[in-house]
């Protein structure tokens, strides 16, 4: 009896080993089939937020027999849909950068499963990046007394990369009015037309900088204040200057 039990134990061990190896005679084993089922077509993506040089694609809406592992954003390059970016930390967000300011893009998304199967492309979404802000000009006409006034020019450059140089500020300055002085600029006159040009401290108006310059002048009591202010540079072209009046 003991011999028989030992034989049965040895047979059990052999059968167990064969089962683990998948080679038990007369026993059929189903081979693991690769997953070839792609995810379903994703929903049309949305884009938010949209910046000057970046945008965020919001993806989703796809399902899979296993699971959706992520999404790939595509754009057309020479007429061919080409991978552009993919979802990273968040499975439904993809980040596009660097983009060109003020430019329109069209994108689609494709869903992926863990086996690498790809869905159909989503319907496309089109978006436009924000344009760079242009430099601005404003003038404060400050009446100190009935005869004396001050012109304060403020040129603000909030662009990302534009450097403003070789600029002029032109305006109508009646010939009967006399100059008391200038600051951060030089003045030339031709009849009623006055032109301000930069000094060394205002020669370059770099991104993030506000240039401040202007004049003091004297006028006859019945003479109008200067008007028609325009700031011009090669980088900006002519920019009309907004005007604010102050007294005292």
Task: Encode pLDDT of 30-76 as tens digits.
Answer: 557 899 999 999 999 999 999 888 999 999 999 999 999 999 999 98
Domain 136-247, second-level architecture: Sandwich (2.60)
Domain with CATH 2.60.40.290 in the chain: 136-247
Spell out the residues 6+ positions from residue 78 whose beta carbon is closer than 8 angstroms to its own.
none
Looking at residue 48, its pLDDT comes to 93
Task: 135-138: list long-range contacts, CB under 8 Å, 24+ apart.
Answer: 135/159, 135/162, 135/164, 135/205, 135/231, 135/235, 135/236, 135/239, 136/239, 136/242, 137/169, 137/229, 137/231, 137/239, 137/240, 137/241, 137/242, 138/241, 138/242, 138/243, 138/244
Q: How far apart are CA 64 and CA 59, in angstroms?
A: 15
Residue 158's pLDDT band (cuts 50, 70, 90): confident
Can you identify the CATH homologous superfamily of domain 46-128? Immunoglobulins (2.60.40.10)
Q: What is the pLDDT of residue 8?
A: 41
| % of the chain surpassing 90 pLDDT | 71
Spatial CA neighbour of 198 closest among 186, 207, 214, 189: 186
Q: What pLDDT does 14 receive?
A: 44
Across residues 189-209, what is the average pLDDT?
A: 96
Contacts of 214 (CB under 8 A, 6+ apart): 139, 150, 151, 152, 153, 182, 183, 184, 185, 196
pLDDT at 159: 83
pLDDT of residue 116: 93
Which part of the chain is CATH 2.60.40.10? Answer: 46-128
**Average per-residue pLDDT in the chain?**
87
């Amino acid at each position: 009896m003991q011999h028989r039990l030992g034989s049965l134990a040895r047979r059990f061990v052999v059968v167990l080993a064969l089962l683990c190896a998948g080679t038990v005679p007369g026993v059929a084993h189903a081979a693991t089939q690769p997953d070839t089922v792609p995810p379903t077509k994703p929903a049309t993506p949305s884009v938010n937020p949209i910046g000057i040089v970046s945008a965020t694609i919001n993806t989703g809406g796809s399902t899979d027999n296993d699971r959706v592992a992520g999404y790939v954003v595509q754009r057309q390059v020479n007429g061919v849909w080409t991978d552009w970016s993919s979802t990273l930390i968040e499975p439904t967000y993809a980040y596009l950068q660097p983009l060109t300011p003020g430019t329109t893009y069209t994108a689609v998304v494709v869903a992926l499963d863990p086996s690498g199967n790809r869905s159909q492309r989503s319907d496309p979404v089109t978006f436009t990046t924000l344009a760079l802000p242009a430099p601005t000009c404003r003038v404060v006409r400050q009446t100190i007394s009935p005869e004396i006034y001050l012109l304060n020019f403020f040129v603000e450059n909030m662009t990302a990369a534009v450097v403003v140089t070789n600029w002029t500020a032109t305006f109508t300055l009646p010939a009967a009015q006399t100059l008391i002085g200038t600051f951060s600029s030089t003045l030339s006159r031709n009849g009623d037309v006055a032109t301000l040009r930069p000094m060394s401290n205002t020669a370059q108006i770099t991104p993030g900088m506000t240039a401040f310059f202007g004049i003091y002048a004297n006028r006859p009591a019945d003479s109008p204040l200067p008007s028609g202010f325009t700031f011009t540079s090669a980088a900006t072209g002519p920019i009309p200057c907004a005007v604010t009046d102050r007294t005292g």
